[in-house]
Structure 1
Amino acid sequence: MTENVLKISGLKIAYGGIQAVKGIDLEVNKGELVTLIGANGAGKTTTLKAITGTLPNCRVEGQIHYSGQQITDTKSFELVKKNLAMVPEGRGVFTRMTILENLLMGAYTRNDKDAINADIDKWFSVFPRLKERSSQLAGTLSGGEQQMLAMARALMNHPKLLLLDEPSMGLSPIMVEKIFEVVRTVSAQGVTILLVEQNARLALQAAHRAYVMDSGLITMSGNAMEMLDDPKVREAYLGEG
């Protein structure tokens, strides 16, 4: 029997009179890489913020279950303790801290010092560019390097669920390929991932399953590779008529 790590039921989110999310159902099973694709303003980031308890003042209805527990009203810092990690849109690194200090912040709920050091070595081996610059301030890194750091920092938490919000945004094509290579590597290691991404082709190529979101609604879901061949998806999100 598949084990739900995340299950969203009937989620509605309204900012004042604007209904951003209109009653969606979504689930991510253990070990899956699931992607949520859609145009700008579809409600994808709002959905991630609802999961992580980082929404501004708004009305939220419906249920969000993480590892079998209802978390709709749980504070974000409590979710970090439950090994739910997010790499936000725009990366959100601590710019006045070094790379090494940023990684240690990712492990602030842990006290297993030897294992923390082993994890730092592990992610430095995945991101050798970060190792070379370990004492450099994060704010002086390029966008791609900051994205690598944000991902490594989140992975220091040993997440049961890793949320990635637009990891390729604003990056060069070479860096986008590198970031997706890491996403696939992390997924292959068994980390459960929910990926929000505008580069629909790369997202679908990396994912097991996919959801399409449009104007606050889930309009399609299914096997990611099959969606790559779906004429409606190709026309709307892959730029092919």
Structure 2
Amino acid sequence: MTKNVLKISGLRVAYGGIQAVKGIDLEVNEGELITLIGANGAGKTTTLKAITGTLPDCRVDGHVEYDGQSMKGLHSFELVQRGLAMVPEGRGVFTRMSIHENLLMGAYTKSDKALIEADIEKWFEVFPRLKERSAQMAGTLSGGEQQMLAMARALMSHPQLLLLDEPSMGLSPIMVEKIFEVIRSVSAQGITILLVEQNARLALQAAHRGYVMESGLITMSGDADSMLDDPRVRQAYLGEG
């Protein structure tokens, strides 16, 4: 039986009188690449922040379980220690640190220096552009290079579950293809991924299953290939029909 890594039940998030998430259910099983697609303002990023407990002051109701345990009250660093890492929208790299130093920060929960350096070399193989610039300040990198660095930094913590929030946002088409190539490669290594993405076509092509979010509600879910062929998805998110 497939192990359940993340289970969201009846999640509601309200900012004052505004309901951003209106009671959603979502599951991610071990080894899956799941995508959550939808328009701007649908509640996708709010959902990820509710999972990680990084929302500003707001009311959060419902249940979020990671690896069979409630995540209520856990701090972000405790989530990383338990194997959950997030690459936030906007990347959030340490701009005044080098690429190498950013990667070391990703491994702050680890103590074996030899293993940490081996991990850095491993991800440099996946992101060769970062290796070429390892001493360069992160703030001087292009948007695509910063996205690669943010992903590599998160992977340094050996996550069981990787949350990706809009990894293709603002990138050139060539860089978007590269980022998705890496996402598929990471998934192939057995790392479970929950991907929030506006590029519905690429997201569904990479994913095993998908969810559609509209105005704070999950309006559709299913096998990614089937969703790619669904007329409603094609019309609303793929620019067809």
TM-score (norm 2): 0.99
Aligned residue number for residue 65 of structure 1: 65
Report how far residue 203 of structure 1 moved: 0.1
Gaps of 5+ in 1: none
Matched residue type, 1:39: A
In structure 2, distance between residues paired with 1:231 and 1:215: 20
Q: Secondary structure at the match of 1:149?
A: helix
Q: 1:1-241 alignment to 2 at 5 Å? A: 1-241=1-241
Q: Report the more deviating stretch, 76-85 or 205-214.
A: 76-85
Report how far residue 78 of structure 1 moved: 1.2
In structure 2, distance between residues paired with 1:3 and 1:172: 37
In structure 2, distance between residues paired with 1:150 and 1:51: 19
In structure 2, distance between residues paired with 1:122 and 1:205: 26
For residues 205-233 of structure 1, give each alpha carbon's deviation from its aligned partner in whole angstroms, at most 9, with x where no partner exists.
00000000000000000000110000000
Do the aligned residues in 2 keep the contact of 1:50 with 1:72 (CA within 8 Å)? Answer: no
Matched residue type, 2:240: E
In structure 2, distance between residues paired with 1:55 and 1:237: 27
Do the aligned residues in 2 keep the contact of 1:87 with 1:151 (CA within 8 Å)? Answer: yes
Gaps of 5+ in 2: none
Q: Percent identity?
A: 82
TM-score (norm 1): 0.99
Aligned-CA RMSD value: 0.5
Matched residue type, 1:63: H
Do the aligned residues in 2 keep the contact of 1:103 with 1:152 (CA within 8 Å)? Answer: yes
Q: Report the more deviating stretch, 66-75 or 150-159.
A: 66-75
Report how far residue 74 of structure 1 moved: 1.4
In structure 2, distance between residues paired with 1:187 and 1:126: 13
Report how far residue 137 of structure 1 moved: 0.3
Report how far residue 72 of structure 1 moved: 2.5
Report how far residue 76 of structure 1 moved: 1.2
Which 4+ residue blocks in structure 1 deviate beyond 6 angstroms? Answer: none
Matched residue type, 2:230: D
In structure 2, distance between residues paired with 1:54 and 1:213: 20
| Matched residue count | 241
Report how far residue 80 of structure 1 moved: 1.2
Report how far residue 2 of structure 1 moved: 1.4
Q: Report the more deviating stretch, 178-187 or 79-88.
A: 79-88
